[in-house]
Structure 1
Amino acid sequence: MARAMSRRRFISISGAVAGLGVAGLGRKATAKADLAVWRGTMLGAVATMKIYHPDRNEAERLISAACAEARRLERLFSLYVEDSALVRLNRTGILVDPAVEFVELMETSLRHSELTGGLFDPTVQPLWDLYARHFSRPDADRSGPDKASMDAVLAHVGYRRLSVSRDRVVAPKGTAVTLNGIAQGYVTDKVVDLLRAQGIAHTLVDMGESRAVGARPDGLPWEVGIADPDTPGRTQTVLSIEDRAVSTSGGYGFRFGPQGRFNHLFDPTNGGCGHLYSSVTTIAATATAADAMSTAFSLMPVVQIRSLMQPAGIERVHLIDAAGAVSELVV
């Protein structure tokens, strides 16, 4: 749940053909054969869309509409847009007459909080602020924030402190919300919904998390490469997916302090950080579920992950533990 340039996700995406043209943010998509590709940034992460369509102009129209929808949702959920709904909630403690999507995502977040016994918790933002303040000091104690500071912050952390209804969302004083552990998946799903409604049957959408619609037109699955957490730029494994979403969480996405002992995967029960795994990748029918549960699973032993996969709608989990050992869990 890190800030914009420290997004935990590092996934490479393979298209159907090599040497594809790439469009910058705000430019027209380029295409080769019937594949149109767009690449830019969304919610602080590299974002891509790959759409197969016989009509180049229609493909560009769809990409433009999808980007507009993603930007609209970004203005609700981003911590980095000054006037976003989330920033206003954290600043004032209340949102009156919130957008339908904001309520929907908050309710979805709270359901994942309940399911995971609070290990997925949208109120961990004060922990980010604490660690950021602590390690920004030149004389920062390398062992991390002191107990008194941690206890004071933890008093404001806890998803049950939030009140969510159709007409208002309330966060008590001192409590701050982050949706960085779920919003990118949610936006990915919304963009997929839009494209499907327009008849798109073959696409790969990544608004910070990846979701495939169908297979590639040649009948082969899409390929999503999972990064090696210890070697930047190297792919550890490649997953083949059709009509599924993939999300990866790993402490390597951002670390606090010169020794890198602390990362952005916060444990809301004690204020510590996740160290069980170098990387956790989930595969599910929706990017929202994959996103939320890759975050939560980062704090759980394998036996607990197994017990929650089916209730959470997670079909497969790819784990790289702290020692580098790789394992696969399948429902």
Structure 2
Amino acid sequence: MSASGIRLRPAPERRRILAGAFGALAAVASGPAALRALAGAQGRQAATRAGLAFGTTVSLTLAGARGADLEPAFRAGFAAIRAVEAAASLYRPDSALARLNRDGSLDDPDPLLVEQLRFALDLAAASGGAFDPTVQPFWTLWAEAAARGERPDERALIEAVARVGWREVEISAGAIRLARPGMGVTLNGLVQGYAADRVLAALAAHGIADAFVDTGEFGALGRHADGTPWRLGIGGPRRGGDLAAVIEPFTGFAATSGDDATVFSVDHRDHHIFDPATGTSPQALSAVTVTAPSGLLADALSTAAFVLGPERGAALVVRYPGCAVRFTAKV
């Protein structure tokens, strides 16, 4: 806790307000044992493995024929997560992204970092700068101020804004450069969705047709081992509340940006999602959930739409085929 009692903890800049179910949400009522029995009666099995990545918990649930060896697929899935972390995690001081921020340049960058950063810059252009991967200086400023029980003053915000600008990132296959001193890049607005993409691709390469992936954002293939569809519960604007909606069947990808992850004020006015133009948090919304054909797209669009607000955010999302958005007003 900071001196002001504000929750300030190591957490991804994007934390889900989605409640992933182990298989169908019916598990809440009938219990995992009942689901296992149903799966067994159909000659099927399901298994779940969990770990830590991106400063949070991650888990993979795989379904397959009874007796099938799922362990190679699990290993491939977690290897995919580790590869994304090595490229773009701010929680690893040895990641390629951490080294870029430390030195202001990076030669022979990890191809996974290049892919994510190119996408981020393309979305920055498409969103008119609402999505900006160079907002890392705001996080540093607000975290330091909150630790003192304060808000940044106007002068500090102006100075931080001067170090933010997606057009100042120079990127090629051979190098990445940050044009101005004091700049910093964060991909926390898309990295967990990108990881979900990489995991499901790795699982599919191992013959897995039915899987539910939680990398901090969600992805699903096929169905649960008991034959029921995967379901995804969309939580209310504050943790611990009732579900606002349920996506059923759930396949593809979903991501949420919300004001209840890392907060800098007890009223959720100030939090980890920043308007790149001001260095402050947008005030219209508590949460934005996007479903999309890729985790990368779902994750990044939810951040951009949060900054843009309902009208302009919806206009951005509908430009991308197969995407849908749900807005939750500020509470």
Name the TM tier (shorter chain): 0.7 to 0.9
2:6 corresponds to: none
1:59 corresponds to: 70
Give the 3 Å change call, closer, same or farther, for CA 44–157 of structure 1 in structure 2: same
Q: CA deviation at 1:261?
A: 2.7
Secondary structure at 1:263 match in 2: coil
TM-superposition CA deviations, 1:81-124 (whole Å, max 9, x none): 11111110000011100111111111011111111111111100
Matched, 1:151 2:121: no
Contact 2:306 2:313 in 1 (8 A): no
Equivalences for residues 209-248 of structure 1 within 5 A: 209-216=217-224, 220-232=228-240, 234-248=242-256
Counterpart CA distance in 2 for 1:292 and 1:129 is 21
Q: Choose which of 113, 116, 131 in structure 1 pairs with 2:127.
A: 116
Counterpart CA distance in 2 for 1:240 and 1:42 is 27
Which amino acid counterpart does residue 293 of structure 1 have in structure 2?
L
Give the 3 Å change call, closer, same or farther, for CA 63–102 of structure 1 in structure 2: same
Counterpart CA distance in 2 for 1:50 and 1:313 is 28
Q: CA deviation at 1:200?
A: 1.4
Q: CA deviation at 1:166?
A: 0.2
Task: Identify which range, 118-127 or 200-209, moves more after superposition.
Answer: 200-209
2:173 corresponds to: 166
Q: Choose which of 95, 103, 106 in structure 2 pairs with 1:95.
A: 106
Which amino acid counterpart does residue 177 of structure 1 have in structure 2?
V
Contact 1:290 1:314 in 2 (8 A): no
The two structures have a TM-score, normalised by structure 1, of 0.87
Counterpart CA distance in 2 for 1:254 and 1:207 is 18
Contact 1:119 1:299 in 2 (8 A): yes
Contact 2:273 2:281 in 1 (8 A): yes
Give the 3 Å change call, closer, same or farther, for CA 99–288 of structure 1 in structure 2: same
Consecutive aligned runs of 4 or more in structure 1 exceeding 6 Å deviation: none
Q: CA deviation at 1:190?
A: 0.6
TM-superposition CA deviations, 1:233-259 (whole Å, max 9, x none): 532221124431110111111210455
Which amino acid counterpart does residue 203 of structure 2 have in structure 1?
L
Give the 3 Å change call, closer, same or farther, for CA 5–196 of structure 1 in structure 2: closer
Q: CA deviation at 1:160?
A: 0.6
Matched, 1:46 2:53: no
Q: Which runs of 5+ in 2 are unaligned?
A: 1-8, 34-38
Counterpart CA distance in 2 for 1:258 and 1:303 is 27
Counterpart CA distance in 2 for 1:259 and 1:210 is 28
Q: Choose which of 299, 314, 330 in structure 2 pairs with 1:322.
A: 330
1:27 corresponds to: none
Residue correspondences, number? 309
Equivalences for residues 1-331 of structure 1 within 5 A: 3-4=10-11, 7-14=14-21, 15-16=23-24, 18=27, 19-20=31-32, 33-54=44-65, 56=67, 58-138=69-149, 140=150, 144-172=151-179, 173-216=181-224, 220-232=228-240, 234-313=242-321, 315-323=323-331
Contact 1:113 1:121 in 2 (8 A): yes
Which amino acid counterpart does residue 165 of structure 1 have in structure 2?
S
Q: CA deviation at 1:20?
A: 4.1
Counterpart CA distance in 2 for 1:178 and 1:237 is 30
Which amino acid counterpart does residue 38 of structure 1 have in structure 2?
R
Give the 3 Å change call, closer, same or farther, for CA 6–303 of structure 1 in structure 2: closer
Secondary structure at 2:69 match in 1: helix
Give the 3 Å change call, closer, same or farther, for CA 294–314 of structure 1 in structure 2: farther
Contact 1:39 1:46 in 2 (8 A): yes
Tell me: higher relative CO, structure 1 or 2? Use CA pairs within 8 A at least 6 residues apart: 2
The two structures have a TM-score, normalised by structure 2, of 0.87
Q: CA deviation at 1:221?
A: 2.7
Which amino acid counterpart does residue 106 of structure 2 have in structure 1?
L
